[in-house]
Amino acid sequence: MTAGLAPDQLTGVVRFAHELADLADAVTLPGFREAFAPGVRGAADVDHKADGTAVTAFDRDAERAIRSAVRARFPGHAFLGEEDGLEGDDGAPRWIVDPIDGTTNFVTGNPVWATLIALQVDGEEVVGVVSAPALGSRWDGVRGGPAHQDGREIRVTTVDDLAQAQVSFGGLGYFAEERIGPAVTELTARTRRQRGFGDFWQHCLVASGSCEIALEAEVNLWDLAAVKVIVEAAGGRFTDLEGRATADGGSALSTNGPLHDEVLAIVAASRG
């Protein structure tokens, strides 16, 4: 039993989440290819929300397609989407969706973007699906495991020495704004390899064993709910930068597990 769901129910929910991802892909991938891929970039409008982040008709249409499908299949469930907000009752199972995570990438022809779909039951994320059609890849996970990439089971690495680890950072400016820039410097000095894969991708790379550590200093629940499930289902650990095991803490740290506390200590020390 996973957060009130029997195994057969959980299997059905995962299958449905993949159906939702298919709906989103049918909107987002043609939109990317026809409006924003290199050579055609700028063929559709880009708006900006109050916080300055980009949004397109493809974000809105993908979310509305998913919301409509959830409403039809599970009318008693709640739904939180980045674009159109929250509907439904407190305490009900809640779907959490980011229709295009990485919209800035999307509108600049960068293929690193994805639709993120998660289900919360009793306040716990129990199913996560990440679909990145321009990368040709999809991840899924269920609470307690397993996790998959493109249908193959994935696991985090067993690296337990920071000097042998690869670390990925989200937007570096956010670390400076949060006054934890020294943590970036410290981790850069102490790890084997450093990259800025960013967004959903860096957490999925941790889950698939391609990276040991991924950090973000400023993010939202819809950016993290699905990847939290996948990282944990792959045997990793996921918290905010304060060490709380939540996708709703405004920041994120995913690791392979053995390195997690050491990274949290470096972040804490950087706050002075």
pLDDT, tens digit, 9 for 90 and up, residues 213-257: 999 999 999 999 999 999 999 999 999 999 999 999 999 999 999
Tell me how far apart the alpha carbons of residues 196 and 204 are, in angstroms, rounded to a whole number: 13
Q: Was domain 7-143 assigned CATH 3.40.190.10?
A: no
Q: How many CA atoms does the CB half-sphere of 240 hold within 13 Å?
A: 15
Domain with CATH 3.40.190.80 in the chain: 162-270
Q: What is the pLDDT of residue 1?
A: 38
Q: CA nearest 36: which of 101, 104, 90?
A: 104
Let me know if domain 162-270 sits in CATH 3.40.190.80.
yes
For residue 172, the model assigns a pLDDT of 94
Query: Does the CA dihedral 237-215-185-268 come out positive or negative?
Result: negative
CA distances from 104 to 43, 109, 115, 153 (A): 15, 9, 14, 30
- pLDDT category at 5 given cuts 50, 70, 90 is low
